[in-house]
């Protein structure tokens, strides 16, 4: 009995000592900027790695994001849902997308994190968050085009929308 208790204590201490205390478990990239709403402005646009004028995506000039918990999704339950509200520069045209975070990964330096959001079982998009090392908030976010895939596929990633944080609008 004492051996079992000792083994449990050793296993727990090894597990805890191996944890990264500077980084909580789960995604660090917060599209909301650690607030209740995230406000982003489109600053660059790339099509197949070539930079093009951002006016080609005028209807996506501003992005306001919010999160809510929705339990009646047809394809996923008990997950937070993010509302992506894209607006034109004069705020007359708005497109709204409801998506859930599906997967994420980070680089060893913890300066970039990649998240895949699902709109449905067969559609989604990728977000890349960029950080200054040891800072909790991202200074840039890249969104891919919407892909006809439940998981990220590089061959379908043809457009990058580059957003930076902005004041509320």
**What pLDDT is recorded for position 78?**
62
Q: Which CATH class is domain 27-165?
A: mainly beta
Per-residue pLDDT of the chain (169 residues; tens, 9 = 90+): 555 554 545 444 444 444 444 443 344 455 655 555 678 899 999 998 899 999 999 999 999 888 776 555 545 556 678 888 999 999 888 899 988 888 888 888 778 888 899 998 899 999 998 887 777 677 888 999 999 988 888 899 899 999 988 877 6
Q: Which pLDDT belongs to residue 8? A: 46
pLDDT at 13: 46
pLDDT at res. 43: 95
Closest CA to 56 of 159, 128, 154, 157: 159
The model carries a pTM of 0.73
Q: What pLDDT does 105 receive?
A: 87
Q: Which two tokens stand for residue 3?
A: 């051996």
Domain boundaries, the chain: 27-165
Task: Check residue 108 and give its pLDDT.
Answer: 80
Pairwise CA distance, residues 149 & 47, whole Å: 19
Question: CB pairs under 8 A, 24+ apart, for 136-143?
Answer: 136/28, 136/30, 136/34, 137/30, 137/33, 137/34, 137/165, 138/29, 138/30, 138/33, 138/113, 138/165, 139/164, 139/165, 140/164, 141/29, 141/31, 141/40
Q: Two tokens at 93?
A: 């045209």
């Amino acid at each position: 009995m004492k051996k079992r208790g000792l083994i449990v204590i050793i296993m727990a201490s090894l597990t805890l000592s191996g944890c990264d205390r500077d980084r909580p478990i789960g995604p660090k990239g917060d599209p909301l900027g650690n607030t209740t709403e995230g406000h982003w402005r489109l600053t660059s646009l790339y099509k197949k790695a070539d930079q093009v004028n951002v006016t080609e995506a005028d209807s996506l000039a501003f992005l306001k994001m919010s999160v809510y918990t929705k339990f009646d999704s047809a394809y996923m339950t008990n997950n937070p849902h993010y509302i992506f509200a894209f607006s034109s520069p004069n705020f007359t045209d708005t497109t709204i997308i409801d998506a859930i975070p599906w997967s994420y990964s980070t680089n060893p330096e913890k300066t970039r994190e990649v998240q895949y959001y699902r709109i449905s079982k067969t559609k989604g998009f990728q977000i890349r968050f960029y950080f200054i090392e040891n800072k909790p908030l991202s200074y840039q976010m890249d969104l891919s085009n919407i892909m006809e895939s439940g998981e990220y596929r590089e061959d379908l990633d043809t457009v990058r929308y580059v957003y930076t944080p902005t004041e509320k609008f």
